[in-house]
Structure 1
């Protein structure tokens, strides 16, 4: 059994993926080929925004989004410590300071009620992370951003396809960034990402930044990066988009069976009534994680921990700010197999192994 079964997905869409790859091989435009522009339009339409800028990774998408807002030395960016390193890493690489706000204990997302006390004249952006496939409280966060004239960047690396009050992830804030790393609900066969916005000027700046700050051939009015998405990855994503909604529905079905079977044994994921989740991970909480993981491994069930160390406890980003909810979650969270092609028999195997591990 696999935590995420990409081979099963490939078997379903093999003809479409192979045809898309061969179209790229035939026309030979491997960087910024026509599939990239087609993908950008489809992604923008899906998210409900005017502009999508395809990028080489989700990390590059975060970086370019912050560069487009001129975030740099002396600035502060409010974000969550309970996320992958890239969120804080990009803030730090630009010379800015990540200001960590603790999470909501149920959703694992940035606690919107704690944001305003961290705002000062140096605050340049708010970066909520839509963790495990569920969006943060974007209504409250956007309201705070608007009242203080601070842009909100949704880190949607795990939530493309999710909704908040009818708004799709990547379309619910002034700017957003997502990842197409292979393990994501919508993933390519390598690294990939995208940034989203309604603002045409911001989109154009991000397009320039992803291509070395270039506005015309060999004319560079700003410093940028090499952040272009390979055409081959765009072709793969176009094939996957055709089945994406069905895969999200299948993820929800797996989650529903897990919820029903496991709610009396572990803390199962909580989904805000205003939200839908794409279940990038199915993350539970357990008391003795090492023991539970060992028992699952013995039964042939893979598991993972996202994330064992909050960002402000990482040496590169260390801060002594109190984050009790993040630290509590980091000690207890455990992700079990979740993907659209997980059979009911495999689900039952996971459920029974987990029950046995908890009760023994």
Structure 2
């Protein structure tokens, strides 16, 4: 029986083992471990790829989003509206920056519902933080219109969306700042935790450089309170050589998504993500392939019995479903959505026959 893991973690290393060993040897022999030329090169190349003016390498996307809010001047008690269909880290970044996260409904595309944003605005609202989820960028026209109407700022959680675009503009370049994740399972992943912050704002960039390195300026003088949120130099070097191959990786992921569409598009019990090229405003990179499925839990069990790995994102709980964190929102649409969501395997270790096997197993289940 074929085995298709949800994600093949050893492949992250084995796929480019020789290049990584060469990079590690080079960095190690130079003793270039913290904030060296490799990091600066990666930041410059990442900014150029995304279309942002600046990219700042950080320890992980959560730290990155938190210091982005801090750099932007978020004040204690100010509210930030975000989609409940996101990792709790998005809300945590708001919380630890001093703000109050306000989760709202997800729409049919699993991204933040613009109508829900407007309904959640209060006199305390400071910003909107859309999560560019699963490698897809939100309808930023609608979100920007709401922000302009109410005088709000935009910060993006683009952790899953490097290379994704809306109307030709890259995820992470719409607001004051945005975070990107390089967790190993991301489309561009390192061998541990890692992230970056994108911004076009000169002052936010200056603040980010201070905040990620204990408040120290370029002379080493401590000029403000800061954190330790630096991206390790060897990880930056590893990410930089992978970035050169990144466009080809995106092409392959879109090809896998297209194959899923061709094999499962006529199965009425599942609702698939928008197929590549089907919506001209969106260029999706398919960080994840998240479907909605009837009888989801039984399907998941069936796929497991056929050695197909799947995942229910965030452990099956939306942000507002963590009452111990103080959330009291009632979001029935998102509650219902989370009864149907399931992520199918989509990763660079897969061959086309793996995709066909997953689709055959799904069709087998619903024929029963």
TM-score, normalised to structure 1, is: 0.95
Q: Deviations over 1:212-235 (max 9, x none)?
A: 122255633322210000011101
Query: 5 Å matches for 1:305-316?
Result: 305-307=312-314, 308-316=316-324
**Cα distance, 1:90 vs structure 2:** 1.4
Q: Which residue of 2 aligns with 1:166?
A: 168
Q: Which residue of 2 aligns with 1:86?
A: 89
For the residue of structure 2 that corresponds to 1:32, the secondary structure is coil
Q: Which residue of 2 aligns with 1:96?
A: 99
Matched, 1:263 2:256: no
Q: In angstroms, what is the RMSD of aligned CA positions?
A: 1.6
Q: Which residue of 2 aligns with 1:125?
A: 127
**Contact 1:47–1:171 (CA under 8 A) maintained in structure 2:** yes
For the residue of structure 2 that corresponds to 1:339, the secondary structure is coil
Name which of structure 1's ranges 68-77 and 1-10 shifts more when overlaid on structure 2: 1-10
Q: From 65, 68, 72, give the equivalent of 1:69.
A: 72
**Contact 1:124–1:151 (CA under 8 A) maintained in structure 2:** yes
Q: Which residue of 2 aligns with 1:44?
A: 47
Q: Distance in 1 between matches of 2:95 and 2:172?
A: 23
**Cα distance, 1:167 vs structure 2:** 0.4
Q: Distance in 2 between matches of 1:94 and 1:67?
A: 6
Matched, 1:357 2:360: no
Q: Which residue of 1 aligns with 2:208?
A: 206
Name which of structure 1's ranges 217-226 and 347-356 shifts more when overlaid on structure 2: 217-226
Q: Which residue of 2 aligns with 1:155?
A: 157
Q: Distance in 1 between matches of 2:228 and 2:195?
A: 13
Q: Distance in 2 between matches of 1:94 and 1:228?
A: 17
Q: Deviations over 1:304-342 (max 9, x none)?
A: 001311111113434332312211121111111101331
Q: Distance in 2 between matches of 1:94 and 1:199?
A: 19
Matched, 1:301 2:308: yes
Q: From 276, 284, 287, give the equivalent of 1:277.
A: 284
Name which of structure 1's ranges 263-272 and 347-356 shifts more when overlaid on structure 2: 263-272
Q: From 116, 119, 137, give the equivalent of 2:118.
A: 116
Name which of structure 1's ranges 287-296 and 6-15 shifts more when overlaid on structure 2: 6-15
Q: Which residue of 1 aligns with 2:217?
A: 215
**Cα distance, 1:121 vs structure 2:** 2.7
Q: Distance in 2 between matches of 1:89 and 1:188?
A: 23
Name which of structure 1's ranges 145-154 and 233-242 shifts more when overlaid on structure 2: 145-154
**Cα distance, 1:196 vs structure 2:** 0.6
**Contact 2:105–2:333 (CA under 8 A) maintained in structure 1:** yes
Q: Deviations over 1:182-205 (max 9, x none)?
A: 000111111000011111111010
Name which of structure 1's ranges 171-180 and 265-274 shifts more when overlaid on structure 2: 265-274
**Cα distance, 1:2 vs structure 2:** 2.1
